[in-house]
Amino acid sequence: MDRLGEKNVAIVSGASRGIGRAIALKLAKSGYDIAMIAAHDNERAQMTLKEVKAYADQSSFFECNVANPVQVAKTLEEIKARYTDFDVLVNNAGITRDKLLLSLSEEDIASVIDVNLLGTIYMTKACLKTFLRKKSGSIVNISSIVGLTGNVGQANYAASKAGIIGFTKSVAKEYGKKNIRCNAVAPGFIETDMTDLMSDEARKNIFEKIALARLGQADEVANLVNFLVSDQASYITGQTISIDGGL
């Protein structure tokens, strides 16, 4: 591939569907070329890439398991070879393995922690040298409202997302003097493939707990991320912003 460098570049993990897809599209519309990362190069990933390229034609897809630090390092080298630089990192990759704690296997626990928390750490660490050289950079980590509140059947997921919040605050404190900002977004119940599987009764019960009485949209999360990486949020760092409709 030819080396590029005309536009700002945003790296978005977990970008093939749901919230990650919405973030990639929003940032592309805002003028970024997108380095899309997902664990699998499949039809859905390529469809999202095609949508993103309609707004940012130099965007690219990179297959990477963010829980694997060797793959992360290799992928970051590929991104740096493809683009002159990058300016934004959005750590969105995440999985769930929902069961009550006593029913969770070691694999259920380890896989969620590895992808959600360690993946966020590995990706951030891999990007920091570039941000330090540039003396600028914006990182947004996608946490979850359950990282703040906990939730029945999601002890592993809640732990991973709470860890992201602590990690975000630490990175903000360590690198703020280098003009590197790091914030977290904590979505509530958002309309995605996972919530599509909920029963009507489950939806009704959730609506009763949400002030706005509806599920959020992935585009609404993307709008918040777009704000946080922009110059309009230049004095915001180390924060966890809930977007949950008043849950």
Judge whether 1 lies within some domain.
no
pLDDT of 218 > 80? The answer is: yes
In three-state form (DSSP H/G/I as H, E/B as E, the rest C), the secondary structure along 48-70 is: HHHHHHCCCCCCEEEECCCCCHH
| Distance, CA of 2 to CA of 35 (rounded, Å) | 15
pLDDT tens for residues 130-187?
Answer: 999 999 999 999 999 999 999 999 999 999 999 999 999 999 999 999 999 999 999 9
Question: pLDDT-based confidence at 78, cuts 50/70/90?
Answer: very high
More confident residue, 82 or 194: 82
CATH of the domain at 122: 3.40.50.720
- Return d(Cα 197, Cα 32) in angstroms, integer: 33
Q: Does any domain span residue 66?
A: yes
User: What are residue 34's phi and psi, to 5 degrees?
Assistant: -110, 125
Q: What is the pLDDT of residues 180-206, one digit of tens each?
A: 999 999 999 999 876 776 677 877 888
- Contact assessment for residue 27 and residue 229, using Cβ atoms and an 8 Å cutoff: yes
Tell me which residue range forms the domain holding 31. Answer: 9-191+218-242
Considering the domain boundaries, does residue 120 fall inside one? yes
Give catalytic status of residue 122 as yes or no: no
Asked if residue 210 is part of any domain, the answer here is no
**Structural domain count, the chain:** 1
Decide if 211 is inside a domain: no
96 closest CA partner among 45, 149, 5, 161: 161
Q: Which of 55, 83, 122, 157 is catalytic?
A: 157
Helix 43-53 to helix 18-29 angle, to the nearest 10 degrees?
20
